[in-house]
């Protein structure tokens, strides 16, 4: 008999977690509490409630976390211009610490002694959920069914679902398994099936948020973002909440075919994995944020941020959002953003985001009287550059002399 009496399950209502709900009841003989997070996946969540009720769940949590997700997780990450392995904007990774946080809160609220998730034993999400959970409650018990059961394929899950009367949507039209998909306000990801061959081009009908660049409008669209302390706060003169801002940028970016990515990445558990991503709003935000920083950040501060960014990105990708080193880096990053205020104008056109203007009335370090190619009226003494160059060349001149002895 298991010592687990009550478990909080991160529950989407999809195939995996629907099977897990029934499996937990059967294998652990415990009460299951379901938690479904609305982080902007764009799907109706009430069916998840009805499915949970069908299997006797009495405590059902469906929480709207969209504003918290963007305000407290996405925006802080974008202040660092975060990219993993040069391309990935970490749309899945950044959602996991929030879900872990809420799982622990609900476990405490309901008196549960365990939490459970649907991440597989091959992926990164198991690490992210569990590192976050242990950081927030070191005594919590975690049940990871994919590491315990023998239902190790989509086909076996479908068979189990059919046997136990679990309704399943989105069976692939050709009879095979559906893509493994994850969506939130920042992105939507696709893995599995056709994509398991890294040489195969993604099917066009796979993409959901973006039109193909070839089919995007023939006319460019200009938008203007206003920034305060490193975060976008207004779009085309209208102040928007964080979640509304990202949703609208997704709409605009998707309309113009912006934000598609086909990537083979290195998972934390050691394997390479091929995935495709749509991150239209995030792609716009990244380009615009770097643009406003270009006129408001000191050179060495900007370069220090760029030096630290890959480490920061790996911490998020690998699940260390709640770790002290990520929190310490965040303090530094947020400190740099105090002067990142102003506006950026970008042009959206057939998959591209082009910065066409940027300025800050209060914090710009761009001095046109010094940078001008015209007569600067003595603002900059060009003769000073000669000594500057000689001093910086000194070590190389000494080395060159040694070689010629």
* Catalytic sites, residue numbers: 16, 96, 125, 180
Cα torsion angle, 113, 117, 119, 121, sign: positive
- The helix/strand/coil state of 184 is coil
Q: CA angle, 199 as apex, 156 and 210 as ends, to 5°?
A: 80
CB 93 within 8 A of CB 317: yes
How many other β-carbons are positioned within 10 Å of the β-carbon of residue 391? 9
User: Which two structure tokens, joined as six digits, stand for 109?
Assistant: 């609220």
- The helix/strand/coil state of 359 is strand
- The helix/strand/coil state of 89 is coil
Helix axes 280-296, 242-255, angle to 10 degrees: 110
Q: How far is CA 283 from CA 180, 218, 286, 349, 404, in A?
A: 22, 20, 5, 13, 51
CB 319 within 8 A of CB 119: no
User: Which two structure tokens, joined as six digits, stand for 353?
Assistant: 């985001």
CB 33 within 8 A of CB 9: yes
Return the bridge partners of 346, or none. Answer: 223, 355
Contacts of residue 67, defined as CB under 8 A and 6 or more positions apart, other chains included, come to 241, 242, 243
């Amino acid at each position: 008999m298991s010592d687990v009496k009550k478990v909080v399950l991160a529950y989407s209502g999809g195939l995996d977690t629907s099977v897990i709900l029934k499996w937990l009841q059967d294998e652990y003989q415990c009460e299951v509490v379901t938690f479904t997070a609305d982080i902007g996946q764009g799907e109706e969540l009430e069916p998840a409630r009805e499915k949970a009720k069908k299997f006797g769940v009495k405590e059902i949590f469906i929480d709207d976390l969209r504003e918290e997700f963007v305000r407290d997780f996405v925006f802080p990450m974008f202040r660092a211009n975060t990219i993993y392995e040069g391309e990935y904007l970490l749309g899945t990774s950044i959602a996991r610490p929030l879900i872990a946080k809420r799982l622990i809160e609900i476990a405490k609220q309901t008196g549960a002694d365990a939490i459970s998730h649907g991440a597989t034993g091959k992926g990164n999400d198991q690490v992210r959920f569990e590192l976050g959970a242990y950081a927030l409650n070191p005594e919590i018990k975690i049940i990871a069914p994919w590491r315990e059961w023998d239902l190790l394929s989509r086909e076996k899950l479908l068979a189990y679902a059919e046997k136990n009367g679990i309704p399943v949507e989105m069976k692939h039209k050709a009879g095979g398994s559906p893509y493994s998909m994850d969506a939130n306000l920042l992105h939507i990801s696709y893995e599995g099936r056709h994509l398991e061959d890294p040489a195969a081009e993604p099917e066009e009908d796979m993409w959901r948020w973006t039109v193909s660049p070839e089919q995007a409008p023939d006319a460019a669209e200009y938008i203007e973002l206003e920034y305060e302390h490193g975060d976008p706060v207004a779009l085309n003169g209208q102040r928007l909440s964080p979640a509304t801002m990202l949703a609208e940028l997704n709409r605009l970016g998707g309309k113009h075919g912006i934000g598609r990515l086909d990537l083979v990445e290195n998972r934390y558990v050691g394997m390479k994995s091929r995935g495709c991503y749509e991150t239209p709003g995030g792609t716009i935000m990244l380009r615009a944020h770097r643009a406003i920083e270009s006129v408001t950040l000191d050179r060495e501060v900007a370069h220090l941020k760029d030096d630290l960014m890959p480490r920061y990105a790996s911490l998020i990708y690998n699940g260390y959002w709640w770790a002290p080193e990520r929190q310490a880096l965040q303090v530094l990053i947020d400190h740099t953003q105090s002067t990142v205020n102003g506006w950026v104008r970008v042009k959206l056109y057939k998959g591209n985001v082009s910065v066409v203007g940027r300025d800050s009335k209060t914090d710009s370090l761009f001095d046109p009287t010094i940078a001008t190619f015209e007569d600067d009226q003595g603002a900059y003494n060009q003769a000073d550059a000669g000594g500057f160059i000689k001093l910086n060349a000194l070590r190389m001149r000494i080395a060159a002399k040694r070689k010629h002895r």
